[in-house]
Structure formats: C-alpha cells, structure tokens
C-alpha cells in the first residue's frame, strides 16, 4: 500500500525478518562448505568454485521450499500468518542465491571456450530424448527465468501496473518453477549421489509441500462449506450479532460467489468483499482498527462503510448492504460496485450481549 | 434460514506488520526461526556428509614449468620425455577449454623436439601441461630425445567405464565425473581436450586410456553424446610406453543406465 514509489518500506519487523533469513541462509552455506571440506577422503577435494556454486544452489532450493510452505502453514494456523508479511523478501533472496548459482555454473562449466556460454548451455548437451543424461541445465534455466520475472515484478508498483489478476498469475508460476527445480535435481546432481539421503530429502520435501497444500485446501473447503449460506430473496444469513466478535468478522461463502466478510465495530455491522486488492489476502481474517479493516497479510486497509482505502490511497473493494431481521444479520448477496457507501447496520447492546470475544 | 453460528477464522491478538508485533507472535516467530535454522543446517550437514568426494587431481596454475621432449600433434597433442631414464607421456592442453593440437597446427608443427612451457595438471601419475598463453609457449629445438616408442598390441577388450575429458579429470575441476559435469566435459572434448576412457582395474584402481578410432586417429564427434555416462564398449588396447590407447569401436557402445 504505497502512494509513492519507495523501494522497500522498512520497519522493525522486516529488519528482524531479513536478519533471521540471512543468518539462516549464510549458516547453511557455511555448514555445507565446512562439512564438505572436512569429510573428503585423503587426496580428494572440491574445487572452491564448484563447492560454492553447490552451496548456493542448495540454499536457493531450501529457501524456495520454506517460501512455498509459508502459504499453506498460514492457512492452517494463524500463528504463521506474520511470516506472509515479508515473504517477498524471502522470494527475492531465493532468486539471489539462484542467480549466484547460475552465474557460477555458466562461467565455470560453459565459459573458458570459444563457444558462447549461452550457446554452450543450450546446445552442448542436446540429449533431450533420453532420461539419463537429459540436459538438466535446461530445467534449471527455465526455473531461473521464472524466478527472475517474479523477483523483478515483486514490488507493489508492478502489482498496480499489471493489475492484481495478472500479477497473481505471474507469481503462481512459482509452483512450475519448484517442479522444474525438482526435475533439475533429479536428472542432474541426484544421479551422481552414492547415498540415498539427498534423494530422500528432495522427495520428502516435495511430498511435504504437496501435503501441506492439500491440507490447507481441505481446511479452506471445509470452512467454506460451513460458511455457505443460501440466499433467500437475495439476502444471506450471517447469524446473530453476538456471533461476530468485536473488531472481527465472520465470513460467508455463497456458492459460486466471492467470500463476504461481515465485520462488527462496536455496535456497527458492515459487509465487505473478503478479498484484499493487494494479493487476494483474506480480509475477513483481519481486524478493525480506527474504523478500517486491516488485511492480515500485508496490512492494507479499507474503510468499513465504503470499502475505500483511506486517503491518499486509492484502492477500493466491493461492499454489501446489511440489515437486521428478527435479531439476525442479513447481507445482500449482490455486491455494490467497489468503493460504494453502504450504511452499516446498528445493533443494540442486547444483541451483542455474551459476545464470544 | 437459520444455520449454526458462523465461527470467525481468527483466534489471537491481531498482527499488523508495521505496528508493534504482539509478544505472542514475537516469541513464536523467533522460536520458529531458530528451529528452521537448526533444521536447515542439519540438512546441509547431512547432504554435505553423504555426497561423493570431490575427486583427485590438481592444477598448480601459479607455477610455470618448462618441459623438454619430443612433441607430437596426433592423435592429440602430447609429448614424450625421458625422466630418470624412463619415458613419460604428458598431454598438451592449454589454459582454457582447448587442446594444444590447434596451436601446433597454427605453427605447422607435426613432430619433433621442443621445449614447452606451461602449468602442470597431475592425477595419480597422469600429466597434462596447460601450455602458456603467448607465442613463446613452444620453442622447437633439438633436445635429448626419448627412444623410439615401444608399441604393444594388448588385444581386444570389452570395457566398462566413462568417457572423460582429460583436463578436468586431471585436476582442473573437482568433481570432474558424472552427469553434473557432462555438459562441461562435452564442451571440453568438442573444443579439443583429449578424451580418455576411465575404468577401474581388477584392484579397483582408477585407470584412464586415451580414446582413438580403430586406426589410432583422434575420435571426437561420434563419442560426444556418451560422455560422462556409464557405458560398455569394445575396442583394442595399444600400449605405447606408459600410454594406453583404447581404439574404440563406437558402434559397440552400450549405455548401462
């Protein structure tokens, strides 16, 4: 949420996040290098360049796995949600390590000859028709290009410039990139291993990642099913006002429609789209602060009554008319255009007595 | 119209990145970070510990040496020297990914005595001189010549092993075998680095034989696709002093994986 361009809007949380991230990354590189050197048989050694390029590649893959795990972990438990806030820094760090790995590979393995390094990379080994001996470098290159595009467009400027759906589509390419990286490893470095440990690590990580996403998807589908409400005369039931905790929301998920977040701020109840304009974050899992709904992912804010970001910001989301019938909150199924004022409904003290919050 | 109450999907104090982090989040995140660093370090430790060794060989690039002997341009550039009364073969390469044959061709040098300058790559008795850049890398002149080569036909053999590029295998790179190194080895051999066939002898020791065609000429293009893969191949082994040639029948190559 930025009205003017700023490369990084640093704050204390981001600084500590990045510090821990880089301590972890550098520790992994150092451990890998020291242990490799310490465990060589007599007369054997790694060339320093090859050792470092392997350490960078390993670090990129490990960080990519962690980056991809954060999304489903945050869906499974609120405790992991803060990790999403600065996840793009981890993504860019993945790219930096992948870049260092790729640059060293390119220069070391494909340089120092009369053949152009890129020509060599793409054409020296052209055994695309076989599994063993397949030019696994091509898979790594494809993954690298995806990571490059993602890193280059990671700033919110590009989100605004490309529009949220296009930006989201580009950044969902991280999953094909991960698959390409696994293929790069399986057809390359893993083939030279004499121990099965690395193969187990790669396959275990892939299975864990798939499992986490399936669990998160299953939980979301279950929550949506519970939150499903059929419209009667175009209005959806959102329960009693006391079911909505102070400053929080309940989410309605009408079949085929967008999730709706029904917030209560004191005695005012209003409904907004539960989808943040930023990265489709779950607004309904956020909270109300100074009359604005705050997205739990990156802190984007929208006014409760009209779905508009407070000035000078210009983002806006759809609002929904709300009414109180027989002591129950009802929300109109059809949204109003983004940014349209919709009068919040006032609930009475007796309606929110015994509130769960 | 009524259904059971909807449950909010939140369960804790709200977190806002740019505001003060709630203590419950702070504690959890620092713990999560510490555990993650511990686990990734353990993973790095295990992967490093279980990976194959880097390989033998060395290249002392900083030390320039002069070797005197008989230089040959075919099948690949090499020289024969007398060392302590015994003939020793040293391949001639260059400082980048190329062989010295082209450099010999450039000065129309075929066979004869010379002083050759460069840096030495060595692995278990195998040697290559990475000839120095610049025009004075070779000085053709009469030197103490080794005796005429003793050529011995050791017969036909079916060998199992891997096609290697000598410069990397002698020590320019470590690791220098296997698929991770395949493209590099292919590029080296295609660029003029002599190819060898790496095997293990009956005692499990690493041996490498110079690859040629059945007539003893350089063999490059037909073998490229098999480089760095485990293969079985038939050929004739010829011993020339301390050098073993493997005159390979490319048509007999069988991939083992």
A46 to B97: CB separation less than 8 angstroms, yes or no: no
Query: Which run of H or of E encompasses A85?
Result: helix A81-85
- Smallest CA–CA distance, residue A45 to chain B, in Å, is 5
Let me know if residue A3 belongs to a domain: no
Final residue belonging to a domain, choices A198, A224, A250: A224
Quick one: A29 and A77 in the same domain? yes
Query: Token pair of B39, please?
Result: 């686990």
Q: Which residues of B touch A104 (CB under 8 A)?
A: none
A133 to B55: CB separation less than 8 angstroms, yes or no: no
Measured distance between the N- and C-terminal CA atoms of chain B, rounded to whole angstroms: 66
Residue among B29, B49, B183 minimizing CB distance to A124: B183
B9 to A232: CB separation less than 8 angstroms, yes or no: no
B8 to A51: CB separation less than 8 angstroms, yes or no: no
Handedness of CA B59, B62, B67, B71 (dihedral sign): positive
Quick one: A216 and A274 in the same domain? no
Backbone angles phi, psi at A172, to 5 degrees: -75, -15
- Smallest CA–CA distance, residue A149 to chain B, in Å, is 26
Quick one: A201 and A251 in the same domain? no
Residue A188: DSSP 8-state: T
Looking at residue A128, its pLDDT comes to 92
Let me know if residue A357 belongs to a domain: no
Say if residue B11 is exposed, middle or buried (CB neighbours under 10 Å; 0-12, 13-18, 19+): exposed
Let me know if residue A229 belongs to a domain: no
Quick one: A107 and A146 in the same domain? yes
Total structural domains in chain A?
2
Residue among B8, B30, B173 minimizing CB distance to A47: B173
Q: Quick check: A60 pLDDT over 60? A: yes
CATH code of the domain in which A267 resides:
2.102.10.10
Banded model confidence at residue A177, pLDDT cuts 50, 70, 90: very high
Residue among A32, A109, A296 minimizing CB distance to B184: A109
Looking at residue A347, its pLDDT comes to 87
Q: What is the mean pLDDT of residues A46-50?
A: 97
Let me know if residue A356 belongs to a domain: no
Looking at residue A31, its pLDDT comes to 98
Rounded distance between C-alpha atoms, residue B172 and residue A50, angstroms: 11
pLDDT digits (tens, 9 = 90+) for B69-121: 999 999 999 999 999 889 999 999 999 999 999 999 999 998 999 999 999 99
Interface predicted TM-score (ipTM): 0.92
pLDDT digits (tens, 9 = 90+) for A66-84: 999 999 999 999 899 899 9
Q: What is the mean pLDDT of residues A58-63?
A: 98
Looking at residue A357, its pLDDT comes to 42
Q: Which residues of B touch A293 (CB under 8 A)?
A: none
Q: What percentage of chain A carries pLDDT values higher than 90?
A: 76
Rounded distance between C-alpha atoms, residue B159 and residue B235, angstroms: 8
Size of interface A-B (CB pairs under 8 A): 219
Q: Which residues of B touch A94 (CB under 8 A)?
A: none
Quick one: A210 and A334 in the same domain? no
Looking at residue B102, its pLDDT comes to 93
- Of A94-103, A255-264, B220-229, B246-255, least confident by mean pLDDT is A255-264
Quick one: A148 and A274 in the same domain? no
Q: What is the mean pLDDT of residues A211-233?
A: 88
Partnered with residue A345 across adjacent β-strands are: A269
Looking at residue B12, its pLDDT comes to 61
Q: What is the mean pLDDT of residues B213-241?
A: 97
Residue among B40, B49, B178 minimizing CB distance to A24: B40
B51 to A296: CB separation less than 8 angstroms, yes or no: no
Quickly tell me which residue has 């005197």 as its tokens.
B68
Spatial CA neighbour of B234 closest among B256, B250, B213, B216: B250
Looking at residue B1, its pLDDT comes to 47
Let me know if residue A242 belongs to a domain: yes
Banded model confidence at residue B10, pLDDT cuts 50, 70, 90: low
A85 to B56: CB separation less than 8 angstroms, yes or no: no
Looking at residue A229, its pLDDT comes to 77
B17 to A11: CB separation less than 8 angstroms, yes or no: yes
- Beta-carbon contacts of B155 under 8 Å, excluding residues fewer than 6 positions away, are B236, B237
Query: What is the overall mean pLDDT for chain B?
Result: 93
Secondary structure (H, E, C), A272-325:
EECECCCCCCEHHHCEEECCEEECCCCCCEEECCCCECCCCCCCECCEECEEEE
Rounded distance between C-alpha atoms, residue A261 and residue A280, angstroms: 13
pLDDT digits (tens, 9 = 90+) for B187-201: 999 999 999 999 998
Quick one: A211 and A245 in the same domain? no
Alpha helix stretches (DSSP H) within A111-155: 117-123, 136-152
pLDDT digits (tens, 9 = 90+) for B138-163: 999 998 888 889 999 999 999 999 99
Rounded distance between C-alpha atoms, residue A218 and residue A313, angstroms: 35
- Smallest CA–CA distance, residue B231 to chain A, in Å, is 12
Quick one: A308 and A172 in the same domain? no
Quick one: A202 and A245 in the same domain? no
- Smallest CA–CA distance, residue B224 to chain A, in Å, is 9
Say if residue B58 is exposed, middle or buried (CB neighbours under 10 Å; 0-12, 13-18, 19+): middle
pLDDT digits (tens, 9 = 90+) for B20-57: 888 889 999 999 999 999 999 999 999 999 999 999 99
B10 to A82: CB separation less than 8 angstroms, yes or no: no
Q: Quick check: B8 pLDDT over 70? A: no
* Structural domains for chain B: 58-140 (2.40.50), 151-255 (2.40.50)
Q: Quick check: A231 pLDDT over 80? A: no
Looking at residue B71, its pLDDT comes to 96
Provide the residue range defining the domain that includes A252. 235-351
Handedness of CA B82, B88, B94, B98 (dihedral sign): positive
Let me know if residue A2 belongs to a domain: no
Let me know if residue A52 belongs to a domain: yes
Q: Which residues of B touch A187 (CB under 8 A)?
A: 179
Query: Which run of H or of E encompasses B196?
Result: strand B195-200
Let me know if residue A322 belongs to a domain: yes
A28 to B40: CB separation less than 8 angstroms, yes or no: yes
Q: What is the mean pLDDT of residues A44-71?
A: 97
Rounded distance between C-alpha atoms, residue A168 and residue A277, angstroms: 11
Q: Quick check: A355 pLDDT over 70? A: no
Looking at residue B4, its pLDDT comes to 58
Q: With H, G, I as helix, E, B as strand and everything else as coil, classify residue A30.
A: helix
Q: What is the mean pLDDT of residues A23-27?
A: 98
Residue among A47, A189, A227 minimizing CB distance to B180: A189
Query: Token pair of A342, please?
Result: 């919709």
Quick one: A125 and A44 in the same domain? yes
Residue among B4, B9, B228 minimizing CB distance to A284: B9
pLDDT digits (tens, 9 = 90+) for A120-133: 999 999 999 999 99
| A95-117 burial: b if 16+ Cβ within 10 Å, else e | bbbbbbbbebbbebbbbbbebeb
Looking at residue B3, its pLDDT comes to 54
Banded model confidence at residue A277, pLDDT cuts 50, 70, 90: confident
Residue of chain A with shortest Cα separation from B13: A287
Q: With H, G, I as helix, E, B as strand and everything else as coil, classify residue A270.
A: strand
Q: Quick check: A252 pLDDT over 50? A: yes
Residue of chain A with shortest Cα separation from B22: A82
Final residue belonging to a domain, choices A167, A198, A224: A224
Quick one: A279 and A341 in the same domain? yes
Quick one: A258 and A166 in the same domain? no
- The strand pair at B86-94 and A345-346 is best described as unpaired
Q: Which residues of A touch B96 (CB under 8 A)?
A: 112-113
């Amino acid at each position: 949420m930025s009205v003017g361009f700023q490369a990084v809007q640093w704050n204390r949380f981001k600084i500590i996040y990045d510090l821990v991230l880089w301590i972890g990354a550098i520790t992994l590189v150092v451990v890998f290098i020291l242990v490799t050197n310490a465990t060589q048989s007599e007369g054997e050694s790694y060339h320093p360049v090859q050792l470092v390029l392997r350490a960078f590649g390993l670090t990129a893959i490990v960080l990519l796995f962690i980056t991809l795990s954060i999304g489903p972990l945050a869906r499974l438990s609120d405790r992991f949600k803060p990790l999403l806030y600065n996840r793009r820094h981890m993504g860019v760090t993945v790219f930096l390590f992948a870049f260092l790995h790729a640059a060293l590979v390119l220069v070391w393995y494909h340089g120092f000859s009369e053949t152009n390094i890129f020509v060599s990379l793409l054409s020296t080994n052209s055994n695309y028709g076989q599994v063993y001996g397949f030019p696994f470098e091509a898979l790594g290159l494809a993954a690298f290009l995806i990571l490059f595009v993602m890193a280059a467009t990671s700033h919110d400027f590009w989100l605004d410039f490309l529009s949220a759906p296009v930006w989201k589509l580009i950044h969902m390419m991280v999953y094909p990139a991960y698959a390409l990286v696994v293929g790069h490893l399986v057809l390359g470095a893993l083939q030279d291993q004499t121990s099965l440990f690395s193969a187990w690590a790669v396959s275990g990580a892939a299975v864990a990642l798939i499992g986490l996403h399936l669990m998160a998807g299953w939980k979301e589908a279950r929550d949506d099913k519970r939150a499903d409400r059929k419209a009667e005369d175009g209005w959806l039931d959102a329960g009693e006002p006391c079911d909505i905790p102070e400053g929080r929301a309940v989410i309605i998920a009408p079949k085929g429609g967008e999730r709706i977040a029904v917030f209560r701020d004191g005695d005012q109840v209003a409904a907004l789209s539960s989808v943040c304009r930023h990265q489709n974050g779950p607004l309904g899992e956020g909270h109300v602060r100074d009359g604005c709904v705050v997205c739990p992912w990156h802190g984007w804010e929208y006014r409760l009554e009209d779905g508009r970001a407070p000035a000078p910001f210009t983002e806006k989301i759809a609002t929904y008319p709300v009414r109180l019938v027989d002591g129950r909150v009802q929300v109109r199924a059809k949204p109003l255009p983004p940014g349209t004022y919709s009068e919040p409904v006032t609930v009475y003290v007796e309606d929110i007595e015994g509130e769960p919050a | 119209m009524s259904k059971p109450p909807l449950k909010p999907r939140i369960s804790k104090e709200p977190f806002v990145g740019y505001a003060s982090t709630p203590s419950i989040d702070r504690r959890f995140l620092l713990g999560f970070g510490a555990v993650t660093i511990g686990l990734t370090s353990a993973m790095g430790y295990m992967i490093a510990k279980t990976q194959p060794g880097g390989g033998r060989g060395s290249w002392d690039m900083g030390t320039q040496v002069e070797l005197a002997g008989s230089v040959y341009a075919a099948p690949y550039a090499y020289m024969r020297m007398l060392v302590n009364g015994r003939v020793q073969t040293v391949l001639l390469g260059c400082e980048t990914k190329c062989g010295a044959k082209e450099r010999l061709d450039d000065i129309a040098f075929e066979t004869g005595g010379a002083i050759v300058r460069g840096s030495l790559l060595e692995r278990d008795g195998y040697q290559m001189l990475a000839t120095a850049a610049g025009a004075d890398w070779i000085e053709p002149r009469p030197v103490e010549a080794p005796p005429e080569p003793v050529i011995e036909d050791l017969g036909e053999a079916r060998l199992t092993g891997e096609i290697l590029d000598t410069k990397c295998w002698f020590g320019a790179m470590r690791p220098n075998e296997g698929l991770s190194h395949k493209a590099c080895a292919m590029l080296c051999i295609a660029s003029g680095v002599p190819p060898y066939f790496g095997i293990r002898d009956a005692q499990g020791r690493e041996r490498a034989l110079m690859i040629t065609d059945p007539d003893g000429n350089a063999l490059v293009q037909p073998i490229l696709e098999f480089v760095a893969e485990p293969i079985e191949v038939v050929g004739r082994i010829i011993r020339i002093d301390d050098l073993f040639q493997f005159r390979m029948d490319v048509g007999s190559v069988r991939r083992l994986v």
